[in-house]
Structure 1
Amino acid sequence: MRSTPSTRRTAAKALLVAALTAGVCAAPQAMQAAHAAQPARAGQALAVRADNPYERGPAPTTASIEAVRGPFATSQTTVSSLSVTGFGGGTIYYPTSTAEGTFGAVAVAPGYTADQSSLAWLGPRLASQGFVVFTIDTLTRSDQPDSRGRQLEAALDYLTQRSSVRTRIDASRLGVMGHSMGGGGTLEASLDRPALQAAIPLTPWDLNKNFSRDTVPTLIIGGQTDTIAPVASHAQPFYESIPASTEKAYLELAGASHFAPNTANTTIAKYSISWLKRFIDNDTRYEQFLCPAPQGDRNISEYRDTCPHT
């Protein structure tokens, strides 16, 4: 039977009563047992976290997920294209301390003709919230979504198996993000690797419109005024094709163009952080920012999801 605070207190009291009834000098030992049986104090809570061992960082607030930097100090390291296969190298951003344990990891792919610098702002912003983040370059700037999906997978394999930060990562908690064709690649990677814990396509573009086999929790972020990957023919059909049995959400940025993800964007950051925390870290403290659906945010023109999340 699972021990609970209530049963521990009952057991402790029984020890104390038995000692007093017997009239022996064991009372001090019984009192020590009673003290030991009490629930962990606040200072011990961080070490225990029995309900969710993947929880990282303090309890979130709206201010904390909108902040330019989170609670973790970060560092970064460059990965040369000459030292890897299957993708074009990139930059790894990571929390400097592992005092709370290992972290989930996210690979991020740029869009058509772009390189990792187009999404560089996401690296330290997400890493400071408790993730290892790998912004990658692709093999060529014209690679299509299916190729970018395979490159995201290759980047995750490198990150967890060969990189200098591999010991900081829990290889069972991985996610993918990407912009434009990199967003399409994010969806393609989700089809190919259903073990992923989260996917966030940003103003995604892909000729494939059928993601009915997608089982990865997916947050699609579209731009209301996107003329390169119009939401009516890209982001929305992608969302609708993902089965209702899969955790999913569609967030449309009010008045935003296709290139909204290329500069620091608080709305993209706060909901990406919440999605990654909720599904990579299983941290239900972030559920409040996703369910019920956001209301009254002038930066969002439309929001749909599968709330409540299981």
Structure 2
Amino acid sequence: MRHASTRSAKRIGLLSGAAALAVGASLLPHEALAGPGDYQRGPAPTEQSITAERGPFATAQTTVDGPNFNKGTVYYPIDTSQGTFGAVAISPGFVSPEAVVSWYGPRLASQGFVVLTLETNSLVDQPDDRATQLVNALDFLVTNSSVKNRIDPNRLAVMGHSMGGGGSLKASELRPSLKAAIPLMPWNNDKTWQGDRVPTMIIGAQNDVIASPASHSKVFYDSLTGTPEKAYLELRGADHMVAISPNVTIAKYSIAWLKRFVDEDVRYEQFLCPAPVPNQQISEYRNTCPTG
């Protein structure tokens, strides 16, 4: 009888433990239990959808002040029925206002991201300063912004143009938990990014004389020996300022990269692998070809 009682007690204990685990699991946020495909937002992509001026999500925007960056504009999907979204902070370059990167806001938000385009503390802030402000902007988004409940704090990314691009490389080093980084025509005196652990797509411009690919973008790409995935896209015939106005190629590959690594959405691999061949828009493309 004693053995039977012991077995019964064990069974009761196991059932109680399983029940407790089930209850505990039901209380966890959806993202904590996420499996493959759980971060997918929006319909399956097509060439038309990823190159469109606007994606499937209607968006709204609001202006914000710091702290720990000057100010900015937050663009976000209105829809909340599909769960939370990843977030992206974007910095302009040297002596450039927020306005030059503002076109990324609605374009990326309409594809299913919360986006903050920021005004730096000073127009002459150096890359390291911009990196700190990018990280601060992300922290603000997930802790104090009016849209914080729309954001998954574990799925964050950075972008930036010129010194803002150099800043996004540094931000990745400061915050290795970032899911993606996209430096645009990046400029930085530091050429060594072996410690970077963030999936990074660098977009350069073939005729850039300010941050030439030979001394900046390509050098940065080659130094990214610790990243799980990386890509280098060079825009044919373009100069340093190509990123400050709407550009279909920049938008297409930025969306694909963010979707693949922030949303873990393998539906977007079709735009990254096999690697695009040089064409009228792309003079060179290098990558490690992410696969699901």
TM-score of the aligned structures, taking structure 1 as reference length: 0.82
Partner of 1:293: 275
1:194-219, CA deviations, whole angstroms, 9 ceiling, x for partnerless residues?
Answer: 00000000000000000000110000
Asked if 1:55 corresponds to 2:37, the answer is no
CA distance 1:91–1:245, shift in 2 (3 Å) = closer
Q: What SS does the aligned partner of 1:99 have?
A: coil
User: Who is 1:196 aligned against?
Assistant: 178
Give the distance between the partners of 1:296 and 1:186, measured in 2 at CA: 26
Match for 1:51: what amino acid?
P
- Mapped to 2, the partners of 1:137 and 1:144 lie a distance apart of 13
Report the AA paired with residue 121 of structure 1. W
Kindly provide the CA deviation profile for residues 137-170 of structure 1, in whole angstroms up to 9, marking residues without a partner as x.
1000000001100000000000000000000000
Deviation at 1:121, TM superposition (A): 0.6
Q: Does 1:266 align with 2:248?
A: yes
Residue 69 of structure 1: which of 40, 54, 79 is its match?
54
> Residues 270-285 of structure 1: matches in 2 within 5 Å?
270-285=252-267
Q: Check whether the contact 1:110–1:136 (CA below 8 A) recurs between aligned residues.
A: yes
Please say which structure displays the higher CA radius of gyration: 1
Q: Offset at 1:115?
A: 1.1
SS of structure 2 residue aligned to 1:259: helix
2:132 paired residue number: 150
The CA distance in 1 between the partners of 2:227 and 2:87, in whole Å, is 24
Say which SS state the counterpart of residue 146 (structure 2) adopts: coil
Pick the aligned partner of 2:210 from 219, 228, 232: 228
Find the counterpart in structure 1 of residue 12 from structure 2: none
By how many angstroms is 1:309 displaced? 3.3
2:236 alignment partner AA? A
Q: Deviations over 1:196-245 (max 9, x none)?
A: 00000000000000000011000000000000001100000000000165
Do structure 1's residue 242 and structure 2's residue 224 form an aligned pair? yes
Identify the match of residue 63 of structure 2 among 59, 67, 78. 78
Q: How does 1:1-310 map to 2 (within 5 A)?
A: 51-80=36-65, 84-243=66-225, 246-309=228-291
RMSD between aligned alpha carbons? 1.1
Structure 2: gaps of 5 or more residues: 1-33
CA distance in 2, matches of 1:188, 1:264: 25
- After TM superposition, what 4+ stretches of structure 1 lie above 3 angstroms from structure 2? none
How big is the shift at 1:86? 1.3
Residue 302 of structure 1 aligns to a residue whose secondary structure is: strand
2: CA distance, partners of 1:156 / 1:244: 23
Between 201-210 and 296-305, report the one with greater CA deviation: 296-305
Q: How big is each residue's C-alpha offset from its partner over 1:6-48, in whole Å with a ceiling of 9 and x where there is no partner?
A: xxxxxxxxxxxxxxxxxxxxxxxxxxxxxxxxxxxxxxxxxxx
Q: Percent identity?
A: 59
Offset of 1:246 from its aligned partner?
2.5
CA contact (8 A) 1:244 1:306 kept: no
How many residue pairs were aligned? Answer: 259
Letter in 2 for 1:174: L
AA in 1 matched with 2:246: A
Aligned to 1:10: none
